[in-house]
Amino acid sequence: MADHFPEAREPLLRSGVLSQGPTQTVVPDRTNHEGRTVDAQWDNEQRCYRYFSVDHGGWVRVPDEDLRTYDLDVNWLLGLVAKEMGIRNAVHPHCLVSNHLWELGTAWIGKRKATALFGRRIARSDVFRSCLEAMRTRKGRPPGVVLTTSPGSPWEQELPGGHRVLPLRDCLSMEKPDFAIDMNVVHGVLTGIMPGRTSSPLHHSTDYSSVTVNGRVFAFRGDKQKQLIESLVRAYERGEERCRTQELLENIESTSTTLVKFFSGRSDWKDLIGYGNGFCWLKISPDGQTAVGTCDSPFNRETLDSPD
């Protein structure tokens, strides 16, 4: 979090939105500039985690921040969303699928009552199936909207009970400094009159440290990795189907001669980048889906979901 969201880190920790999670021992190699990760080992004598670095020529102590993970306080988020939806007495949202789907209550959307639900990681095929089953058992409720942290814009997909999906990021108000939901967008989802929204399957942070494809997030730490990702994204946006791998690596002055060596220490990059015959490309098919895996979820055709 300190690497990717330095400005947001302290405010989030102070607000109580995040709580400290378990210690992670797969950490970035701070002596390597290509974003390599390593397995840290506990040293009883030094009372710290460390790893051996070939580049450094010895053992490197791991900073405490690299070992920390953080968990979202879901109840805090549910309360915030319920308040924005104008739902009263939403102190205890009804959990429909453990850790993934909640019913917040009934909200007035325009002149109609609507059921407000909230979903996390519902782009995962197994989670999505569980959500469908949960909704089928509650068809007597008014049709409503499932607000979700999963990216993507499957506007055409109507769920059991007449519910529709709306990613949170697509309905946040840009006119207010604090968290606020644009109820006009929510109303548009329920009535079928949609405000203009981008339907691109590809999204990225300004520095290319984070790339989201159909709901799955890929994070990149090293400067050279981010430069290579930027080159691939720009090529995709220009309509170029593939790039010469050697040319990309030379342009960023990488010492690696192949993508496998370039991304040494991680394997998830193969779910984002295709390669072969001296070329590489982002794995996004013409219909806006990644080329990896299959899934019956309308949000993400992959079997893996992003963290939120």
Please state, for a pLDDT cut of 70, what percent of the chain lies above it: 84
Residue 302 has pLDDT above 70, yes or no: no
Q: What is the pLDDT of residue 294?
A: 31
Q: What is the rounded average pLDDT for all residues in the chain?
A: 81
Two tokens at 76?
Answer: 């805090």
Residue 194 has pLDDT above 50, yes or no: no
Compute the average pLDDT of residues 2-26: 79
Compute the average pLDDT of residues 252-262: 93
Render pLDDT for 228-239 as a digit per residue (tens, 0 to 9). Answer: 999 999 888 888
Alpha carbon distance 247, 216 (integer Å):
27
Q: What is the pLDDT of residue 282?
A: 94
More reliable by pLDDT, 22 or 2: 22
Q: What is the pLDDT of residue 250?
A: 94
Compute the average pLDDT of residues 246-252: 94
Render pLDDT for 146-180 as a digit per residue (tens, 0 to 9). Answer: 999 887 544 445 678 888 888 888 888 877 777 88
Q: What is the pLDDT of residue 101?
A: 95
Long-range pairs for 279-282: beta carbons < 8 A, 24 or more residues apart: 279/242, 279/243, 279/244, 279/245, 280/232, 280/242, 280/243, 280/245, 280/248, 281/232, 281/235, 281/236, 281/241, 281/242, 281/243, 282/202, 282/213, 282/232, 282/233, 282/235, 282/236
Residue 42 has pLDDT above 50, yes or no: yes
More reliable by pLDDT, 197 or 106: 106
Please state, for a pLDDT cut of 90, what percent of the chain lies above it: 31
At residue 113, what are phi and psi to the nearest 5 degrees? -85, 140
Residue 52: pLDDT band with limits 50, 70, 90: very high
Alpha carbon distance 163, 144 (integer Å):
5
Compute the average pLDDT of residues 99-110: 91
Q: What is the pLDDT of residue 124?
A: 83
Residue 199: pLDDT band with limits 50, 70, 90: low
Q: What is the pLDDT of residue 240?
A: 84
Residue 16 has pLDDT above 90, yes or no: no
Q: What is the pLDDT of residue 28?
A: 87
Render pLDDT for 62-76 as a digit per residue (tens, 0 to 9). Answer: 998 888 888 888 888
More reliable by pLDDT, 5 or 273: 273
Residue 195: pLDDT band with limits 50, 70, 90: very low
Alpha carbon distance 126, 198 (integer Å):
27
More reliable by pLDDT, 278 or 297: 278
Alpha carbon distance 107, 145 (integer Å):
10
Compute the average pLDDT of residues 88-106: 86
Beta carbons within 8 Å of 93's beta carbon, 6+ residues apart = 78, 82, 102, 103, 104, 105, 118
